[in-house]
């Protein structure tokens, strides 16, 4: 267990250190998030659709697609100089390496979401402050689901010729269930509905988290052989 934590922490810290130095993926994801939020807001006809009606969809389209930028980068940086072979040669547990990559991706996507959420409030003028804990909870649950599956698919896609195109193609079908759940819960949170109305969707999101994390951990090792 100590070895797992030590390796996972080392991998996550290394990924975040590299991203902090280069900032390429983070800047791309942030610019992308701002653009999507702004375009969806401007494209809306305010006389026909209220901001509150499209806000949940806009939020989750923004978060999930911006996350893809980061997920693409997760294993591309391992391709440079075949550094990932060096990681495997240390004999570190693939599960620990996966958890490290997952942690780094969660921090990355969390950072994009932390910047995106205030912008979302600014553009859509939605009443989130009283409901911030619920919104953060659903954000965390949905993010964990699609980042877990995105991390393992990123490891698979990186070995293909068109890695950056392949990841969205592979990831989108898996992205739909948690994002649909997140949109449903977010819509109810923003409308001020009671928690009891969201329990079904929250349970579904929790089930996706458990299923996707377990599958990702079990499948990760199989993605490592060429």
**Alpha-carbon dihedral angle through residues 18, 19, 23, 24, given to the nearest 10 degrees:** 100
Output the smallest distance, CB 82 to other proteins, in A: 4
161 interacts with other proteins by CB under 8 A: no
User: Which of 77/171 has CB closer to other proteins?
Assistant: 77
Output the smallest distance, CB 10 to other proteins, in A: 4
User: Which of 18/163 has CB closer to other proteins?
Assistant: 18
User: Which of 206/219 has CB closer to other proteins?
Assistant: 219
Number of residues assigned to the chain: 226
Per DSSP, helices labelled H in the chain are: 2-22, 24-43, 51-79, 83-89, 94-124, 132-157, 163-190, 199-220
Angle at CA 182, nearest 5°, toward 8 and 199? 105
CA gap 106, 102 in Å, rounded:
6
Output the smallest distance, CB 225 to other proteins, in A: 5
For residue 120, count CB atoms less than 10 angstroms from its CB and return exposed for 0-12, middle for 13-18, buried for 19 or more: buried
1 interacts with other proteins by CB under 8 A: no
**Total of residues contacting other proteins (CB under 8 A):** 25
Q: Which of 85, 172, 200, 214 binds other proteins (CB under 8 A)?
A: 85
Q: Scanning residues 92 to 131, which ones bind other proteins (CB under 8 A)?
A: 92
Residues 6+ apart with CB under 8 A from 83: 77
Q: List residues binding other proteins (CB under 8 A).
A: 3, 6-7, 10-11, 14, 17-18, 21-22, 77, 80-83, 85-92, 225-226
């Amino acid at each position: 267990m100590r070895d797992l934590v030590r390796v996972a922490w080392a991998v996550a810290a290394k990924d975040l250190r590299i991203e902090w130095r280069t900032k390429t993926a983070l800047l791309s994801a942030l610019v992308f998030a701002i653009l999507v939020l702004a375009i969806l807001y401007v494209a809306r006809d305010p006389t026909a659709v209220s901001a509150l009606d499209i806000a949940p969809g806009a939020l989750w389209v923004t978060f999930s697609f911006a996350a893809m930028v980061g997920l693409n980068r997760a294993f591309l940086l391992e391709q440079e100089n075949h550094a990932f072979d060096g990681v495997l040669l240390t004999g570190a547990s693939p599960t620990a390496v996966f958890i490290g990559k997952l942690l780094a991706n969660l921090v990355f996507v969390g950072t994009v979401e932390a910047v995106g959420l205030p912008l979302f409030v600014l553009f859509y003028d939605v009443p989130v402050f009283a409901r911030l804990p619920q919104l953060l909870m659903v954000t965390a649950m949905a993010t964990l689901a699609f980042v877990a599956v995105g991390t393992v698919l990123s490891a698979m896609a990186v070995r293909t010729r068109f890695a950056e195109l392949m990841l969205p193609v592979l990831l989108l079908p898996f992205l739909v269930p948690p994002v649909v759940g997140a949109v449903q819960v977010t819509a109810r949170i923003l409308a001020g509905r009671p928690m009891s109305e969201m329990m079904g969707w929250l349970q579904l999101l929790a089930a996706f988290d458990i299923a996707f994390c377990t599958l990702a951990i079990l499948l990760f090792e199989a993605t490592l052989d060429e």
